[in-house]
Amino acid sequence: MKARVTVTLKNGVLDPQGKAIEGALKSLGVDGISGVRQGKVFDIELETGDKAKAEEALKAACEKLLANTVIENYRVEIA
């Protein structure tokens, strides 16, 4: 079973890297972009074929390590 975890900064948390990327896009002449917030993507392979078990493991992975919930949100998608 495969899954994708996406970790993004919570709303309101300043993202200087996103700002720098936004500035770089402008300087490259890419028009029409009004904001960039960057984050992380984890592609995860699971041993189990059971969706409930997979969800449980992924939630634990996010809460224990992948996201710092002080500043980050996470989203789990199971393929």
Q: Which residues bind another protein (CB under 8 A)?
A: 13-14, 16-17, 20, 64-66, 68, 70-71
Provide the token pair at 71. Answer: 């500043």
Closest separation in Å from C-beta 34 to another protein: 21
Closest separation in Å from C-beta 33 to another protein: 19
Comparison of 46 and 66: residue with beta carbon closer to another protein: 66
Closest separation in Å from C-beta 3 to another protein: 17
- What residue has token string 């899954």? 3
Q: Which residues contact 79 (CB under 8 A, 6 or more apart)?
A: 1, 2, 3, 4
- What residue has token string 């992975």? 61
